[in-house]
Chains A and B, each alone.
Chain A
Amino acid sequence: MRHLPALLLVVAIAYVLALTLTEAPAFGGLDVPARNEVMRFYLDEELDQAGIPNTVTAIIFDYRAYDTMGEATVLFTAVGAAAAVLAGHAGKLVARPMAATDDVILRIVSRMVIPFVQVFGIYVVVYGHLSPGGGFAGGTILGGSMALYLFVFGPKRTARKIPPAWGEIMEGAAAFWYVLVGLGGVLLGANFLANAAAGVPLGVQGQLFSGGAIWLIGLGVGVKVAATIVNLLVHLAGET
C-alpha cells in the first residue's frame, strides 16, 4: 500500500490533463489555434511572394530560411559529437568494426534497389518546390541509400566508393553554399537570404527552375543532409 500516494497523484494529474482535453477544439475543426491570420497570410500571399506551389517548402526555404540555416548547421554538432564520443571509446566497444555481409539476396537486391532510391532522392530534392518533399526529406533518402550500401558491403568498400574526405568536404561545402546564397541577397541590396524581395527572378510558376533562391537553397540542404548521414554512419560503423 506504500504506492497508494503515488497512484493517487497519478490519477489526479491524469484527471486534470483529461479535463483540459474536453476544452480542446475539435480535431480538424475550424476553431483550431493554428487557423489564424498567419496561416491565412501564407496561403494567400505565398504564391505571389515566393512563386512556388509547395507552401511548406516556401516557408522553410524562403520565409524561415534563416532558421533553416541554423537547423542545417546543427547537423555539424551531431557528426562532431558522434566522432568525439566514438574516438574516445574506440577500444571499449564490444564488437569489432562492422564487416560486409555474405548474404547473396541482400547483396543482389540492394545493388538493384540503390540506384532507384538515389534517383527518387534526387527527384525529391530537385522538385521540392513543386511536389511534397524538399532538401531535408530528399537528402535523407539519398543518405539512406548510401547507408544501405554501407550496411551490405561494409565500411571498406564504402570508403572506396565514397572516400571519407569527400563526405566531409561535401558537408562543409553545402553549408558554405547556403551562406553564399544568403549573401547573394545582400549583394543585390536586400536582406540576408532575401529571395524575391532582392529581385531574384522567380521564373515561370510550376517549372523546374522556378522559385529563385529556394531551389538553390534546397539543393544545398539536400547535399548537406545526405553527407551528414553518410559521415555519421561511417563514423559509427568503425575504422575503414
Chain B
Amino acid sequence: MIGWFGVGCLVFLLVCAIVVARTRDLLAATIVFAAYSLVMAMTWQQLRAPDVAITEAALGAGVTTLLFLLAIARTRRTEDESA
C-alpha cells in the first residue's frame, strides 16, 4: 500500500502538473515537467514496477526534456498570448 512517502509523491505530482499547465514560461514548464517525471519514476518504484520506473526516468525526465528544450531553443521561450 501507499505510505506517507507515496502520498507525498502524489501531492508533489499534482502540484507539478498544475504548475506545468499554468506557467507561461515554457522553459520553466519543461524543467518542472522533468521534476514531475523523476518523482513519477519514484512512484513507479514504490508501486513495485521497476521496469516502468527506469523507462520513466530515462524517457520522461531525460529524452522528453531534451526534446522540449531543443524545440524551445529553435522557436520561442514564452507562450503566445494571442495565439
Contacts and interface: CB of A to CB of B under 8 A. Distances in A.
Contact of B74 (A93, A132, A141): A93
Interface in B20-69: 50-51, 53-55, 58-59, 62-63, 66-67, 69
B76 A98 contact: no
B50 to A, nearest CB: 4
B51 to A, nearest CB: 5
A94 B55 contact: no
Contacts of A148: 66
Given A28-B1, A95-B75, A143-B63, A137 B58 contact: yes
Contacts, number: 64
B69 to A, nearest CB: 7
Contacts of B59: 137, 140
A134 B54 CA distance: 9
Contacts of B71: 236
Contacts of B58: 137, 140-141, 144
Interface residues of A, number: 29
Nearest to A97: B74
Given A98-B74, A140-B59, A124 B67 contact: no
B interface, by DSSP: helix, strand, loop or mixed? Answer: helix
A238 B63 contact: no
Interface of B: 1-2, 50-51, 53-55, 58-59, 62-63, 66-67, 69-71, 73-76
Contact of A151 (B1, B66, B76): B66
A140 B63 contact: yes
B66 A233 contact: yes
A124 B66 contact: no
Contact of A27 (B1, B62, B75, B76): B1
Nearest to A96: B74
A141 B62 CA distance: 8
B45 to A, nearest CB: 9
12 contacts: A93-B75, A95-B75, A98-B74, A132-B50, A132-B51, A132-B54, A133-B54, A134-B51, A140-B58, A140-B63, A144-B66, A151-B69
A72 to B, nearest CB: 14
Nearest to B47: A28
